[in-house]
Amino acid sequence: MGWGNVLTRRLKVFSMALFIYFDYKAVQKRVKWVTTSKKDAIWTKTHERNARRVLSLMIELEGLWVKLGQYLSTRADVLPEPYINVLKQLQDSLPPRPIEEVRGTIEKELAKPMNDLFSNFVLDPLATASIAQVHRATLVDGREVVVKIQHDGIKEIILEDLKNAKSLIEWIAWAEPQYDFNPMIDEWCKEAPKELDFNHEAENTRAVSRNLSRKTGCENGGVSDAVDVLIPEVIQSTDKVLILQYMDGIRLNDNDSLEAYGVDKQRLVEEITRAYAHQIYIDGFFNGDPHPGNFLVSKEPPYKPILLDFGLTKRISPSMRQALAKMFLSCAEGDHVALLSAFAEMGLKLRVDMPEQAMEIATIFFRQSTTANEAKENIKTLNDQRERNVKALQKKMKLNKKEVQRFNPVDAFPGDAIIFMRVLNLLRGLSASLNVRIVYLDIMRPFAESTLLGSMARGPTTNSQWIHDSPVNSEVESKLRNLLVELGSNKILGIQVCAYKDGKVIIDTAAGMLGKYDPRPVQPDSLFPVFSVTKGITAGMVHWLVDKGKLKYDETVANIWPNFGTNRKELIKVHHLLNHTSGLHNALGDVMKTDPLLVCDWEEMLHQITKCTPETEPGSAQIYHYLSFGWLCGGIIEHASGKKLQEVLEEAIVHPLHIEGELYIGIPPGVESRLAALTVDMEELEKLSGFRAGPEVPQELLSNVAQMATGLPVLFNTLNIRRAILPAANGHCSARALARYYAALGASGHVPPPHSGSSKPPLGSHVHTPKFPTMQSKKKKKKGASKKCSSDSEQNGHDASLTDKDGYTQLRTSDGDEGSMASAMSGSGSRMFSDGAKMLDAFMGVGDFSGMIHPNGKFGLGFRRYGDGGKAKATSSTFGHSGMGGSTGFCDVEHGLAMAVTVNKMSLGGVTRRVVRLVCEELGVPVPDEFSVAGDKGPDMVLNLAPPE
């Protein structure tokens, strides 16, 4: 191409773009002053005349612009109908190139005269496309073939058109920032030139044919049937000529023929969709250009799809395949955590934390397709959704209208994902053009599950990554790992085990997968939801405040929290809350039944606590406070300290123990990629049939156990619940952080030496509260935060003034100055408590504190007391707290053992008991009754009350 032609093409493109742009801008102003009926007519005419302008220019310029037009003509689900009607003409053949040009290219490429190659060559092409045209022919050996011949000089035209398209997209993004298609055009610029090498296309065709024709059995996760499509055989190829087996078929836009043959168009598009799902999720090698011109339908029953043209074929890595599959399944499940994790894995970086909107946008790509007749309503729905998201972004970032138009919430967009989304859009357009509905979530799901679940199905004996590759710290850890392999993936999904003995790490093992739909291996820094294990952490904060002189165990709660002292709660003391004897064991239980998400509203839940009435007299009965414990203790923590609960958590526990980023009550944005997802061991759950617990467990907790057990993982896997402040049930931690916490408690508050240096990444190396690049607003933030669960960085906190719903504002700061609390933890960091021996007695309710606990009760002050070796509980040296489903943390003071187990496959605690028994027996330490074969099982949570193995 000479410079004259280059300049001419460029001027035509940009002048037409400007002409159309100003036309639409003028109409936008004009329709403001007309009636609705006239407005629709004006817009229809505007679309028609501009569509004709676009078509005329694309036919004139050919090359890349024809391909673009073909793509747009398939988007009946989003483009106005006039554009579809006009641009679909590009799906038909373009004007053919002269036969002399065709002959010259063939003879030059194949180095033989045409007569030596073909016994018959049909001069009229079957089709002429943007890059090449196709002729039917018969080889000299009698085989029927099609010959694809590249247009002379098309390579230079395509490369120039890509430059023009890139410039045009950049101009559009500048003029209308909300329409920034730069990531898409960048990926197209990288991939499109590959279509110009027909040797590349030939190899792609062979590869896709092999992939789709092979049987995919259990080794790939259970997708057992081959996809039922046809792909022509490659006969010969060069750089510019491709000879393929001839397959007689019906074109997809030939509706009359499809009707005459009785082709089931619904089944046809479903089979094409299955073929692409297989290519993407199973093979990681897929055709990136599924427009109608690249398909035929065989003329013999059962009328199979024929797949053509593999020039633009994309290969993606196994990790990207898994990330795309995870993105798909997270949309199907509505799992915000998994979606954000998938984004991180595929390299999609966001500048702002808006998980609900991210889910809405991602789900758009997998939504059920609409027919062409519904396109107009579909466009309106998508526009409405887009406007809602823009408003949410504007409110989130505190931007004005102009700023929000210029703000791009995506920091980085991976090219592989762009091609993937382009394929989904083309498939959607294909179904719309054939006027059928396709439920992509149903059709593609088995293939996505196959990708994610395939590695998990192999189990620990064949998967070298099932146990995290970290050094073995001791002989007992080696035996533990053998036990985990023996238990296998049928009992374990993901697990962490960490143990300290006499202040030294002897076990630090991680194994399994992060979730049912997340086959990434569990690592030492993975975060597990641990349910009621959180109570032991919350109790630790109460004890820390007592040690700092901020409150007293025998102090009435109403003295700390005045609004609490109503409805016969005036006599409830701090030790009653810690000992589960306040009589408020069923408080707030109805909330979970009527509106589970209300638990996300911290202030509302504290307000509800103040209105509750105890069912028993304080101190008269120990009945497990399964849900209310967190808000009861959380309220006194905040009112006694004058600080947010999470600030106290950091000051009292996280910073002195140097476990930043690995212990939370309510996760902050930015840690989603390290989260383990919960699931339920349904086989174990069936053992609960007819189970009866003792009087210390509320009957309400035992009602509908199976329903509760299956429903809680769904609830606690949601981002709203994970980010909420639930100090009884919402702890997220690693086993190494939890074990370190109990090692410090067991050592009278003395902080152990640094955690094992072989544990990677090092404990405490994470930023505790990650920040998004744009979270800091230029505008001054108002003091306080929203009551409702939100997805911004402030959702983990709440009003620092602790203003009650009833208008009470009072902070307890008279028992010591604020500086002393901070300075106490900013020194050497060697101690958590000033009087550690006294704290140990308080934990277990012995010595001076024996009168504060219920006689023969299972709890001390905030911790479950474990009997061992037949000793009476009052003299036991072991305490801790377990959580529903099997996670636990405890320490044995007498024997210097601290141990934590985190699991994400919720069961009756059998795995945890096997693990704890093995460790204790190997160390010669008495097995705590919670974990012994026939010992007394505490009321920590129903699902841990399993019968003996």
pLDDT in tens, 400-427: 766 656 555 565 556 677 778 778 877 8
Q: What is the mean pLDDT of residues 914-931?
A: 93
- Residue 585 tokens, joined: 């064991």
Residue % of the chain over a pLDDT of 70 = 75
Q: How far apart are CA 31 and CA 72, in angstroms?
A: 26
| CA distances to 109, 139, 237, 242, 723 from 102, in Å | 11, 17, 15, 12, 65
- Residue 260 tokens, joined: 């005459």
Residue 688 has pLDDT above 80, yes or no: no
Q: What is the mean pLDDT of residues 905-917?
A: 88
Q: Where are the domains of the chain?
A: 3-94+153-194, 200-215+223-454, 475-756+831-944
Residue % of the chain over a pLDDT of 90 = 43
| CA distances to 27, 29, 44, 73, 77 from 41, in Å | 12, 15, 5, 22, 20
Residue 821 has pLDDT above 60, yes or no: no
Confidence of residue 727 (pLDDT cuts 50, 70, 90): very high
The active-site residue, picked from 77, 161, 283, 289, is 289
| CA distances to 146, 527, 738, 765, 904 from 733, in Å | 62, 5, 7, 14, 12
pLDDT at position 893, please? Answer: 95
Residue 836 has pLDDT above 70, yes or no: yes
Judging by beta carbons within 10 Å of its beta carbon (0-12, 13-18, 19+), is residue 830 exposed, middle or buried? exposed
Residue 372 has pLDDT above 60, yes or no: no
Q: How far apart are CA 758 and CA 473, in angstroms?
A: 9
Residue 127 has pLDDT above 50, yes or no: yes
What does DSSP assign to residue 283? I
- Residue 827 tokens, joined: 């020194």
Work out the number of other CB atoms within 10 angstroms of the CB of residue 328. Answer: 31
Q: How far apart are CA 10 and CA 157, in angstroms?
A: 11
pLDDT at position 916, please? Answer: 96
Contact 375, 78 (CB under 8 A): yes
Contact 41, 82 (CB under 8 A): no
Residue 828 has pLDDT above 50, yes or no: no
| CA distances to 23, 171, 438 from 26, in Å | 5, 19, 38
pLDDT at position 511, please? Answer: 96
What residues are paired with 128 via a beta bridge?
133
Judging by beta carbons within 10 Å of its beta carbon (0-12, 13-18, 19+), is residue 257 exposed, middle or buried? middle
Closest CA to 653 of 562, 781, 745, 785: 745
Report the range of poorest mean pLDDT among 535-544, 892-901, 927-936.
Answer: 927-936
In the block, which residue shows the tokens 């009760």? 857
Residue 762 has pLDDT above 90, yes or no: yes
Confidence of residue 209 (pLDDT cuts 50, 70, 90): very high
pLDDT at position 827, please? Answer: 35
What does DSSP assign to residue 859? B
Give 716 or 603, the one with higher predicted confidence. 603
Q: What is the mean pLDDT of residues 432-458?
A: 78
Q: What is the mean pLDDT of residues 783-809?
A: 39
pLDDT at position 407, please? Answer: 58
pLDDT at position 435, please? Answer: 84
Q: How far apart are CA 461 and CA 465, in angstroms?
A: 10
Q: What is the mean pLDDT of residues 472-487?
A: 95
Q: Indicate the pairing of strand 305-307 with strand 295-298.
A: antiparallel
Give 42 or 159, the one with higher predicted confidence. 42
Work out the number of other CB atoms within 10 angstroms of the CB of residue 23. Answer: 14
- Residues 3-38: pLDDT tens digits? 667 677 778 888 888 888 888 888 888 888 887 778
Q: How far apart are CA 146 and CA 138, in angstroms?
A: 8
H and E: helices and strands count for the chain? 35, 25
Q: What is the mean pLDDT of residues 233-254?
A: 94
Q: Considering the chain, what is the average pLDDT of its residues?
A: 80
Q: How far apart are CA 610 and CA 538, in angstroms?
A: 19
| 3-state secondary structure (DSSP) of residue 778 | coil
Q: How far apart are CA 397 and CA 515, in angstroms?
A: 32
Report the range of poorest mean pLDDT among 402-406, 562-566, 650-654, 920-924.
Answer: 402-406
Work out the number of other CB atoms within 10 angstroms of the CB of residue 511. Answer: 23
**Largest Cα–Cα distance of the chain, in whole Å?**
108
Of 80-94, 203-217, 539-553, the range with the highest mean pLDDT is 539-553
What does DSSP assign to residue 94? P
pLDDT at position 822, please? Answer: 31
Residue 276 has pLDDT above 60, yes or no: yes
What does DSSP assign to residue 200? H
Which 3-state string (H, E, C) describes 644-661? Answer: CHHHHHHHHHHHHHCCCC
Q: Options 3.40.710.10, 3.40.50.2300, 3.90.340.10, 3.10.450.40; which CATH number does 475-756+831-944 get?
A: 3.40.710.10
Residue 936 has pLDDT above 60, yes or no: no
Confidence of residue 809 (pLDDT cuts 50, 70, 90): very low
b (16+ CB within 10 A) / e for 99-120: eeebeebbeebbeeeeeebbee
Q: What is the mean pLDDT of residues 865-886?
A: 74
Residue 513 has pLDDT above 70, yes or no: yes
Is 469 in the active site?
no
CA-based angle 868:871:874, to the nearest 5? Answer: 105
| 3-state secondary structure (DSSP) of residue 715 | helix
Residue 381 has pLDDT above 80, yes or no: no
pLDDT at position 443, please? Answer: 87
Q: How far apart are CA 310 and CA 312, in angstroms?
A: 6
Report the range of poorest mean pLDDT among 65-74, 498-507, 543-552, 732-741.
Answer: 65-74
Residue 262 has pLDDT above 80, yes or no: yes
The separation between CA 687 and the C-alpha centre of its own chain, rounded to angstroms, equals: 32
Contact 613, 596 (CB under 8 A): no
| CA distances to 179, 447, 458, 517 from 219, in Å | 43, 13, 8, 17
Contact 666, 602 (CB under 8 A): no
Q: What is the mean pLDDT of residues 539-563?
A: 96
**Cis peptide leading into 409, omega within 30 of 0?**
no
| CA distances to 3, 552, 813, 816 from 819, in Å | 74, 20, 11, 8
Listing DSSP states for 433-490 in one string gives HTT----HHHHHHHHHHHHHHHHHHT-TTT-TTSB------SHHHHHHHHHHHHHHHH
Residue 575 exposure: Cα atoms within 13 Å on the Cβ side: 19
Q: How far apart are CA 621 and CA 415, in angstroms?
A: 62
